[in-house]
Chain A
Amino acid sequence: MAVEVMTVEVAEATASGFAAIGAGLAVGLTGMGTGLAQFSIGGAAVGATAENKDMFGLALLFTVIPETIVIFGLVVALLLLF
């Protein structure tokens, strides 16, 4: 069986590949998390705003609370890539 020799270049390429995968996972999974959380909040917020327009500010506030998750994911991804 041939033994694969891991050169420095191969190791670096592998590392950056894994970093890219990690970045993708970070954005993708956090995006899904945010989406799941915003799904029900958003529905309720639109309903509340339809009933009473003054609710808009508060409703928007509630809706965007989960966005923090994806922002964290994004920051992690960008730090991994650059």
Chain B
Amino acid sequence: MFKVQTMSRLLIAASKDQLDTIVRELYRHNLFHIEDFVESDEEGYEGFKIGMPLPGAGSVSSDLIRIRSIENSFDVSAGEVETTVRSGTAELTRKIESELPVIEKEAMALIEEKSSLENTVREYGMKIAELEPFTGYTGYLEDLKGFDFFVVLAGYIPAHFGFTVPNESFYTTVNKRHFLIAVVPLENAEEAERSLLDAGFQAVAIPDETGTARARIDWYTQEITRLNNEIEGVKGRILAQKKTHAAFLVACDELLTAEVERKEAPLRFATTEETFVAEGWVPIEKKDALISDITSATGGKVYITELEYDPVEDVVPVEYHNPDFSKPTELLIDIYSRPQYSEFDPTLLVAIVFPIFFGFILGDVGYGLILLALSFYLRKMLKEEAGRKLLDVLRNASVSSIIFGLLFSEFLGYALPWDPIGLNRHLNIGGHSTGHGPDVTQMLVLTAWIGILHITLGRSLHIYNAMRKHHPGKHRTKVVFGQVGWILTMWGILFALWSLFAIPVMPDLTGFAGIVAGLNIFGILGAVMVVVGVIGVAQENVLDLLELPTIISHVLSYARLAAVGLSSVAIAMVTNYIAIELIIDPQLESLSVVGIVIILMGIVVFLIGHTLNTALGVLGGGLHSIRLHYVEFFTKFYQGGGKKYKPFGKNRKFTED
């Protein structure tokens, strides 16, 4: 909680004949984040070389490539296969030997059949295109060929052409262009061709066909239809094959991928002639189990030791360590950046505050229920991990939305049978004002409060991080006083404001007697705080003084919580007003056939309006809430950029030992 998973750095050394056993054991546990070995002349690493893959790596990877190519041709992906029965490794290995060649042969045959059919269809299509210009010519095509003393010219020409040589010519119109078929004596052919070219003649080859063009086209069209049916048949067979073999293929893929990863693991280890050394990271509580399992698997022929490391200087892989409640929110943090190892992990804070912001913006029981149902429904459909996490975040947010909806007394823009508790967001739309109208001023000031507290918390976390990361000394003092300076400046401005103006929902300090220049005791306190604060900020970095206006702008930025929420209320109320009061109600007074149609239209307007507003609510509520975290909150303390913890191994879905 608030801290990422503590890691231990392990060094595993053994002789090379234990390599396979140890790699297998590491892979099975799926815990060891391998620190890739880089050849260097560093002290203690002289003579170490990057290892070679284990024997058999080549043949396994070529098997894997074969599997992947079959998967490709059947269009199988692991995501769409339901895990029903897990295949045993031994059985699977035997099946790969015996069945894979058969499946591969079938797959290749089917794919070849399909592609050859598709090629023929394409070829026939081209033939049809060639024949098309000759459809106007009703004679047989073979009659245009095979003359000894004549030449037949065919092609497109811009306009009718006056031959200067003896000829017999025939014109048709194809696609709004003139098409000419002309017969000229052999001795005049050259002259005729030349003059035709000058007139913009585009020659077209006479198709090598027998019969009329129309008849041939009909024949080819029929053939294409028949071939397309055949292709559908082949596709059906491919689909059937896919259904039969998908489970086997993904299991093979999983098995062989694991095999390849294992065989290639030594590429990440340091080796000598006879030994190897693997370095990596393991979550601290799993360390003992891993060590004892490796030791027993190798019969004690291994040396494992825990290395010291500096949590700040060394790049330690980062794994979250959160209660289940805040696990989905890790996705939102990862989108921004994973925390560094020694840094405060804000996931739990975001998991609590994000839904509150969301609910404050979209505080409506109706929308909350719609989103809650949607998140449960989509969660059943979706198999992807990231998507599920996002939906869990949405679920938490919509629960908060319902709670705030009860407080605000809102249901799809209507008031619930009680008055709003705390804040009133009901607007005066269509001339029905409930109560005294929206408490805009109170809402604005409340959001400013939220901003002030959120930002103060952020700055405090920066101090906490600095205390943990830096050793006591000048640098740490500077950073801490800088952050204290920011906090003091903000609260100093607040005190000064309180002493000058009476603001609702904030302490009223105007009642005290002025001491200097109209400022009372709190005004002076505020001014002193600002001065000290500015000095604090400046001593850390003078350029930071340019950032001072952000104290105000970042706090005001939280006003979006009120504004976006009010706009969503306004859209809901306007939709209700238009749909119910302007369209449906007048018709209900005197029902008629046309009236019923209009009522149906009103219902459509109602549905469209609320659907749009739900979508806007998710976007507005979600994006603005997360933005307040990313921009206003995280910039105060969060660095991120931590390295992801990627353990060596895999969670197996389709296979088991």
Interface residues in chain A, defined as those with a beta carbon under 8 Å from any beta carbon in chain B:
54, 56-57, 60-61, 64, 67-68, 71-72, 74-75, 78-79, 81-82
* 7 sampled A-B residue pairs with Cβ under 8 A: A57-B634, A61-B635, A68-B556, A68-B557, A71-B556, A74-B560, A78-B559
Which of A57, A60, A71, A78 lies in contact with B557, CB distance below 8 A?
Answer: A71
Shortest Cβ distance from B631 into A: residue: A64
Q: Kindly state the separation between the CA atoms of A81 and B556 in the bound complex, as whole angstroms.
A: 17
Which residues of chain A are within 8 angstroms of B562 by Cβ–Cβ distance? Answer: 78
Q: Does B553 contact A (CB under 8 A)?
A: yes
Closest residue of chain A to B441 (Cβ to Cβ) is: A82
Q: How far is the CB of B308 from chain A (nearest CB, A)?
A: 29
Interface footprint category on B: 20 to 34
The interface residues of chain A lying within 8 Å CB-to-CB of B441 are 82
A82: chain B residues at CB < 8 Å are: 438, 440-441
> Of residues 605 to 631 in B, which have CB atoms within 8 Å of A's CB atoms?
627, 630-631
CB nearest neighbor in B for A72 = B556
- Complex formed: what's the CA distance from A82 to B635 in Å? 32
Contact among A64, A75, A78, A79 with B627 in the assembled complex (CB-CB below 8 Å): A64
A57 touches B337 (CB 8 A): yes
Query: Which residues of B lie under 8 Å from residue A57 when comparing CB positions?
Result: 336-337, 630, 634, 640
Q: Inside 8 A of B563's CB, which chain A residues have their CB?
A: 74, 78
Additional A-B contacts beyond A56-B335, A56-B336, A78-B563 (18; CB < 8 A): A54-B641, A56-B337, A57-B336, A57-B337, A57-B634, A57-B640, A60-B336, A61-B630, A61-B635, A64-B627, A68-B557, A71-B556, A71-B560, A78-B559, A78-B562, A79-B444, A82-B438, A82-B440
Q: B553–A68 contact, CB under 8 A?
A: yes
| Interchain CB contact (< 8 A) of A71 among B336, B559, B634, B635 | B559
Report the separation of the CA atoms of residues A42 and B135 in the bound assembly, to the nearest whole angstrom: 57
How many angstroms from the CA of A82 to the CA of B337 in the assembled complex? 40
Specify the chain A residue showing the minimal Cβ separation from B638: A57
- How far does the Cβ of A32 sit from chain B's closest Cβ, in whole Å? 17
Bound-state Cα–Cα, A71 to B336, Å: 23
Query: What's the Cα separation between A81 and B562 when bound, in Å?
Result: 14
Residues of chain B within 8 A of A74, CB atoms compared? 559-560, 563
C-alpha gap A79/B556 in the complex (Å): 13
Inter-subunit contact A81/B337 (CB<8 Å): no
In the bound assembly, the distance between CA atoms of A11 and B94 in angstroms comes to 94
Closest residue of B by beta carbon distance from A53? B335
Which residues in window 533-591 of B have CB below 8 A to A? 553, 556-557, 559-560, 562-563
